[in-house]
Amino acid sequence: MGRRTHPIRWLLAVVFAVACAASVAAQAPQRPLRIAYVEREADPLYAVAANRDGVFRLVHRSPFPGAEVGVRDSLAGARAAGLAIELRRVSLADGASVAGALADLSAQGTTAAILDLGVEDLRAAAAAPAGLALVDIRSIDDGLRAETCAAPLVHVRPSRLQRTDALVQFLVQRNWRRILVLKGPEPEDQALADSIQTSARKFGARIVAVKSFAITNDPRRREETNVALLTGGQDFDALYIADSLGDAGRTMGFRINLPRPVVGPHGLDALGWSSYYERNGAPQLNRRFERAAGRAMEEEDWAAWVAVRSLVEAEAEEARRPTGAPLAARLLDPDLRLELYKGLPGSFRPWDRQLRQAMLLATHNAVVDLAPIEGFLHETNVLDTLGLLPRETPCGK
């Protein structure tokens, strides 16, 4: 009869073998994942404005701390996959060429670039033959997504249409189908008004009117500045205020003729992230960010965090199942599933390079619901009820 192995000795042998394997893995050379965070020096979006003139201004802060938290959150998984993450911050001088900067980064062995840049710089980056995987963390423009769908550029923040689609799904589910739209004078205000109309047609809501408001004290333009006059003359179930600057619409909901809910930037809005979300691991992520940055996590910060996590996950998957495909192509792999802390896993759509994601329907201090709303179905992925359809981009036709 053979000698019986003592259970404790067997367990110690297993532990020793695992420790040896971990030690060997730790000593093995790690493949670098070099990520550049590209921004502009003195970016006007992040300029500090003194609110002493009676005008409210939206405050934007650089989301670079979100990328730093993303690196820290990815270290364990990267180490297990044999990756060493390097995050480098690159600030371009005013007038410096984006294409030239990306070419230099590629020549230096950079793997990917996270782009905290305006739309024109993003177009230039998409057209540059730098060979890098590019991740846009700022733009919400659907037109950019359609124009650059063949470029190695993916988009993390929810697009404008994803936002209005989520809002209209909520309104339709509540049977608040008649929507009055007030829009401001800015180009982005017009874009928002166009988007809510597209979403209304898509989901069976009705825009009762689109009216322009003016930001002026000129008494001759009373019909464009008096909210009671603007909202009079028709019935509606909800008011959508397209006010991208964030000033004029702050009090409109209290000066309309009818007691109706306000949606859009000044009421219930559809957001990529909220520091008030309390499910799916979001509180832990919010706390980690707040400890690191000393402030609440905003949507832009979350986008920078997701950008890093996406690049690490795509690179780690290549280590597990080598394909030889470039990183930009692997980001579009249908099997790549990204934990977004919003209940449903994310992935990048091939026709517009947009991150599929649930949307938080939130006020300034509470999350009310998540979209896609239950009952809105899709043949393959319910998240594709939000945003551009394949036929709306050259890459999906």
Q: What is the pLDDT of residues 250-289, one digit of tens each?
A: 888 888 989 999 999 889 999 999 999 999 999 999 999 9
Residues shown for the chain: 397
Residue 182's domain spans which residues? 161-270
Which of 270, 294, 312 corresponds to the end of one domain? Answer: 270
Q: Is residue 390 part of a domain?
A: no
Q: How far is CA 69 from CA 33, 120, 139, in A?
A: 16, 28, 21
Do 171 and 249 belong together in one domain? yes
Residues 6+ apart with CB under 8 A from 271: 158, 163, 299, 359, 360, 361, 362
- How much is the pTM? 0.90
Q: Is residue 368 part of a domain?
A: no
State the average pLDDT for the chain.
89
Helices (H) and strands (E) in the chain, counts: 12, 14
Taking residue 23's Cβ as centre, other Cβ atoms within 10 Å add up to: 10
- H or E element, residue 273: none
Q: What is the pLDDT of residues 111-139, one digit of tens each?
A: 999 999 999 999 999 999 878 999 999 99
Q: How many Cα neighbours within 13 Å face the side chain of 378?
A: 13
Do 165 and 141 belong together in one domain? no
Which of 239, 270, 301 corresponds to the end of one domain? Answer: 270
Q: Please give the tally of structural domains in the chain.
A: 2
Q: What is the pLDDT of residues 70-126, one digit of tens each?
A: 999 999 999 999 999 999 999 999 999 999 999 999 999 999 999 999 999 999 999
Torsion angles phi and psi, residue 15, rounded to 5: -60, -40
The answer for 131, left when phi > 0, alpha when psi is -120 to 50, beta otherwise, is left
Do 132 and 178 belong together in one domain? no
Provide the CATH number for the domain around residue 121. Answer: 3.40.50.2300
Task: Say if residue 179's pLDDT is above 70.
Answer: yes
